[in-house]
A and B are shown apart, each in its own frame.
Chain A
Amino acid sequence: MTTPVTTKTPARPGERRRPGVAELVLRYPALGPTCALVLAVVVFSLLTSTFLSLDNMSLVVEQSLVVGTLALGQTLIILTAGIDLANAAIMVFGTLVMAKLGSAVGGFGGLVAGVLLCVVLGTVSGSLVTGLRLPPFIVTLGMLTAVAASARIYAAGQSFPVTDALLGALGQRSYLFGRIEVTTGMLVAVLMFVVVWYALTRTAWGRHVYALGNDPEAARLTGIHVNRTLLSVYVVAGVIYGIAAWQSLGRIPNADPNAYQTGNLDSITAVVIGGTSLFGGRGGVVGTLVGALIVTVLRSGLTQAGIDELYQDVATGILVIVAVALDQLARRRAR
């Protein structure tokens, strides 16, 4: 043991550790969900004649858009071992401000005000979590109730159709390579996923987010500014919810206080199916993208195969439990 080891040969043969399934799941949390997504696409393509077409694929992506964007913000918060129950309510409030205020002061003013509102509400959640050290579940549960009610008060029982070009801009359709139908919203979503992926995996900020989700005390001892980083996660999530609000007006040009009532749970579903651990510090946005697509693919495929909507919910529910069970088992095996 006195000479430095320069090869990667283990010192003792008994100690060789072949990366088992558990370790693969731990290291590449998006691997399992990606396989599931490919499998689902193949199965539905074989089962139905309508599933495998460019138009249908494009529709699947479009249907995943708003929940997928919400799930992107949700991923950040779940990585810090938190959870955000208020994200959809915040987004809906954002759409109302964009539409109602936008009709008075113009699209641009409405858009800025709506996004700002989402950022402020995200910051409020983050401040309560970091400043008062309240559990994120409770903070965002309270925010959910308060924000949803405030949005209804603001809307005064109405919904607001959007005619402004800027507010509906993300619904703009165009064709990639002349055949693939995409909306501007899809391109924006892809860009957002890339930016967040980069920030999480290639910058010190991302490292710190993972580390504090993993073990906040260890993160503090290594000199990471835990509170500042945690608060920044909620602020960034707020920005993402603001853009999700814009996305949602592009998809359906009508701000409705009753929309996306299960958006919070749907976004958690996408994150969890995507392999991000509810215990924090493990997972990432690639998994979330896949997770959001899996939910829509299941829905679309099962519908086209003529299976009732309630059975689709059963399938989604089972998938959530399987994903969490896999994460738990892998963590236990690695110990």
Chain B
Amino acid sequence: MSAPDAVAAGPATDSVLRAEGLVKRYGSVTAMDGADFDLRRGEVLAVIGDNGAGKSTLIKALCGAVIPDEGTIWLDGEPVRFSSPLDARKAGIETVYQTLAVAPAMDIAGNLFLGRERRRKGPLGSVFRALDLSGMRADAQRQLDALGVATVQNIGQLVETLSGGQRQAVAVARAAMFASKLTIMDEPTAALGVRESGMVLDLIRRIRDNGLPVVLISHNMPHVFEIADRIHVHRLGRRTAVVKPDDYAMNEVVALMTGALRLTDGGELVDQKAEQPRRPGG
């Protein structure tokens, strides 16, 4: 991660989404203080951090909801500037919000294509603006089948009659359907029970296996350790460590997150208190 490297090779080629030195200030509050970020091809990258660590500001900067004051974001090696979530979406980044952004009184197919409805071919579509209802239904069914969303039986079912996990699955399936580069998922298992969480985690795994990298924001350490390929630890407005779940124990990662431990460049964990100069007699 030395500077000459970055200049010579440019952004690493296996990075899908990369950011360096992101800064965002709100008045006197610094929500992002030189944050870095790196999502690689074919991985699930979990982003964890304590409340107020600035991870939601980071995510918002990546999906276009917040414009950073400083820093650069690269998408597939190209520098990008998003001025709205729509911009990021057009570039191929889909976000699953914690609120899901679904219309409860609409059916599943309608929700999958909400805001991106497809018109029929020919004059019916171009002159009369008729929607390709049957085509959209078929595609929606295909997408749910491909992702193995087994508990949804009927594509015409109203979303409000679905369970929490099924609604989440609809939102996730929609993101996967339209994302060409990556998906960002904000706390997808936060409101779910054990079985439904398992279903959503399976879904995320399948999306990754289909080649779409996933950024997963989560507070749930067991879920993070179950599914993440790498874990981005955010603390005090910047990335403090990136670890693989196999290399460290859960309590060690939590300690990184709270600042009790620090990761050295050599990958060793150091007790923050032990590092401080000891006072005589103290």
Contact = CB atoms under 8 A, between A and B. Distances in A.
B230 to A, nearest CB: 24
Contacts of B255: none
B115 A210 contact: no
A207 B110 contact: yes
A8 B106 CA distance: 20
A309 B187 CA distance: 59
Contacts of A202: 129-131, 133
B139 interface: no
Contacts of B78: none
A2 B145 CA distance: 11
Contacts of A334: 158, 160-161
Given A203-B130, A219-B103, A224 B114 contact: yes
Interface string A187-208: 0000000000010001111011
B114 A8 contact: no
B103 A10 contact: no
A223 B89 contact: yes
Nearest to A17: B161
A16 B117 CA distance: 30
Contacts of B114: 207, 211, 219, 222, 224
B83 interface: no
B138 to A, nearest CB: 13
A18 to B, nearest CB: 11
Contact of A221 (B85, B116, B133, B145): B85
A13 to B, nearest CB: 12
B202 A1 contact: yes
B191 interface: no
Interface string B121-157: 0000000111101000000000001111111011001
Contact of B129 (A23, A26, A204, A217): A204
A8 B153 contact: yes
B75 interface: no
A256 B81 CA distance: 60
Contacts of A5: 145, 148-150
A192 to B, nearest CB: 16
A15 B105 contact: no
A214 interface: yes
Nearest to A23: B161
Nearest to B202: A1
Contacts of B161: 17, 23, 26, 334
B105 A210 contact: yes
A26 B202 contact: no
A53 interface: no
B11 to A, nearest CB: 28
A208 B153 contact: no
Contacts of B154: 8
Nearest to B155: A8
B97 interface: yes
B100 interface: yes
A221 B97 CA distance: 9
Contacts of B133: 202
Contacts of A11: 150-151
Contacts of A3: 148
B158 A218 contact: no
B199 interface: yes
A9 interface: yes
Given A4-B146, A11-B151, A334-B161, A204 B105 contact: no
Interface in A214-231: 214-215, 217-219, 221-224
B86 interface: yes
A8 B103 CA distance: 23
A217 B105 contact: no
B104 interface: yes
Nearest to A206: B131
B145 A4 contact: yes
B115 A222 contact: yes
B102 interface: yes
A100 interface: no
B41 interface: no
Contact of B148 (A2, A27, A203, A219): A2
B282 to A, nearest CB: 53
A218 B199 contact: no
B60 interface: no
Nearest to B116: A223
A120 B161 CA distance: 40
A214 B115 contact: no
A285 to B, nearest CB: 16
Interface string B238-260: 00000000000000000000000
A214 B104 contact: yes
B101 A218 contact: yes
Interface string B82-122: 00011001000000010111111110001000111101000
23 contacts: A1-B199, A2-B148, A2-B202, A3-B148, A4-B147, A8-B154, A9-B153, A17-B161, A207-B106, A207-B114, A207-B131, A210-B105, A211-B115, A215-B101, A217-B101, A218-B101, A219-B115, A222-B101, A222-B114, A223-B115, A224-B114, A281-B104, A281-B105
The 6 residue pairs across chains A and B that have the minimum distance between CB atoms: A222-B115, A221-B101, A204-B117, A223-B115, A214-B103, A218-B101
Given A4-B146, A281-B104, 19 more contacts: A3-B148, A5-B145, A8-B154, A15-B151, A16-B153, A17-B153, A27-B158, A204-B119, A204-B129, A207-B114, A211-B115, A215-B103, A218-B101, A218-B102, A222-B114, A223-B86, A223-B116, A334-B158, A335-B160
